[in-house]
């Protein structure tokens, strides 16, 4: 791990609406090291998606400072340093798997991408489905296409917002290990939002616990499990202790 890739200092975010001012994030400070996998958990509505949107340069902070790869998140986004995977894959139904992964390249007129869409599909185990249309895919496959699409510019930072929450439990578990396999090979810096504490623990190097809105950092846990992570670690004492600790923290912060 080299220096921090994400630096958030005293971040404040509020929204103005006809109903008045809504404070969502208050004084949030944390760093994410280059190559680190950080999971974020917190009560529903506390501001996790808002935080990711700020890191992605899609929303401006109301106060404090945020840097991604040493610069303003909007600049980092323009320079394709940030990939985003949402809860639902949002693939274009009239484009094939390969065409969906290629879309952002076409929009940005990039003819020689850092990572070839075909290679990314291979990495995702989707090579033979390149010509399928989204309606012909399972939920897990569609989400793997979304991941390939997010990686196509070879971004430094990968932001994932509950990417597996729409999947059934078995597929969801398989996707965790699939993501870990891809992460071992690409070593992106990842910020991963989830409602599942076991998911946070098995994936992450470190878990941040946000409080209820207005969110602040209510706890932080370094996950002491070796890499590569395996399914049998979920039965281990360190795993279960981490889960228990985070559940208590989250309950106290909700």
Ligand X SMILES: Nc1ncnc2c1ncn2[C@@H]1O[C@H](COP(=O)(O)OP(=O)(O)OP(=O)(O)O)[C@@H](O)[C@H]1O
Within 202-231, which residues bind ligand X (CB under 6 A)? 213
Binding of ligand X by 185 (CB under 6 A): no
Taking CB under 6 A as the binding criterion, the range among 48-56, 73-81, 92-100, 105-113 that sits at the site for ligand X is 48-56
* Cα torsion through 156, 162, 164, 166, rounded to 10: -150
Nearer to Mg ion, 117 or 163 (CB): 163
Taking CB under 6 A as the binding criterion, the range among 14-22, 121-129, 166-174, 197-205 that sits at the site for ligand X is 14-22
Nearer to ligand X, 49 or 173 (CB): 49
Neighbours of 169 (CB within 10 A): 9
Interface with ligand X (CB under 6 A), residue from 26, 48, 188, 216 = 48
Binding of ligand X by 22 (CB under 6 A): yes
Taking CB under 6 A as the binding criterion, the range among 17-25, 200-208, 228-236, 241-249 that sits at the site for ligand X is 17-25
Binding of Mg ion by 49 (CB under 5 A): yes
Q: How far is the CB of 25 from ligand X (least distance, A)?
A: 8
- Name 145's Cβ contacts closer than 8 Å, sequence gap at least 6: 89, 91, 97, 100, 101, 121, 124, 126, 134, 137
CB closest to Mg ion, residue no? 49
Q: Between the CA of residue 15 and those of 9, 11, 30, 112, 254, what are the distances in Å?
A: 19, 14, 22, 40, 21
Nearer to Mg ion, 49 or 88 (CB): 49
CA 229 – CA 128 distance, rounded (Å): 27
* Cα torsion through 107, 110, 115, 121, rounded to 10: 40
- Bridge partners of 210? 217
Binding of Mg ion by 88 (CB under 5 A): no
Strand pairing class (157-161; 217-222): unpaired
Interface with ligand X (CB under 6 A), residue from 11, 41, 46, 145 = 46
Do 54 and 47 form a contact (C-beta atoms < 8 A)?
no
Taking CB under 5 A as the binding criterion, the range among 48-56, 58-66, 101-109, 118-126 that sits at the site for Mg ion is 48-56
Binding of ligand X by 71 (CB under 6 A): no
Do 13 and 47 form a contact (C-beta atoms < 8 A)?
yes
Nearer to ligand X, 23 or 174 (CB): 23
CA 150 – CA 70 distance, rounded (Å): 21
Nearer to ligand X, 20 or 226 (CB): 20
Nearer to Mg ion, 47 or 155 (CB): 47
What is the token pair recorded at 176? 């965790």
The residue ranges that bind Mg ion (CB under 5 A) are 48-49
Positions touching ligand X (CB under 6 A) are 15, 17, 22, 24, 42, 44-50, 213
């Amino acid at each position: 791990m080299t220096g921090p890739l994400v630096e958030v200092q005293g971040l404040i975010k509020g929204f103005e609406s006809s109903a008045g001012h809504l404070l969502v994030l208050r004084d949030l400070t944390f760093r994410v090291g280059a190559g680190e996998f950080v999971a974020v958990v917190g009560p529903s509505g506390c501001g996790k998606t808002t935080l990711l949107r700020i890191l992605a340069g899609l929303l401006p902070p109301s106060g404090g400072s945020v840097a991604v790869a040493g610069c303003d998140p909007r600049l980092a986004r323009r320079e394709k340093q940030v990939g985003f995977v949402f809860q639902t894959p949002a693939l274009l139904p009239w484009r094939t798997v390969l065409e969906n992964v290629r879309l952002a390249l076409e929009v940005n007129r990039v003819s020689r991408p850092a990572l070839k869409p075909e290679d990314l599909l291979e990495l995702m185990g989707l090579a033979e489905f390149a010509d399928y249309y989204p309606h012909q895919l399972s939920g897990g496959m569609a989400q793997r296409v979304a991941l390939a699409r997010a990686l196509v510019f070879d971004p430094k930072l990968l932001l994932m917002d509950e990417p597996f929450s729409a999947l059934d439990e078995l597929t969801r578990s398989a996707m965790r290990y699939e993501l870990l396999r891809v992460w071992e090979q690409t070593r992106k810096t990842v910020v991963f939002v989830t409602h599942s504490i076991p998911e946070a623990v098995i994936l992450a190097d470190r878990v941040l616990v946000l409080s209820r809105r207005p969110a602040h950092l209510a706890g932080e846990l370094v996950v002491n499990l070796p890499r590569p992570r395996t399914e049998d670690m979920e039965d281990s004492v360190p795993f279960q202790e981490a889960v228990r600790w985070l559940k208590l923290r989250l309950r106290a912060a909700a």
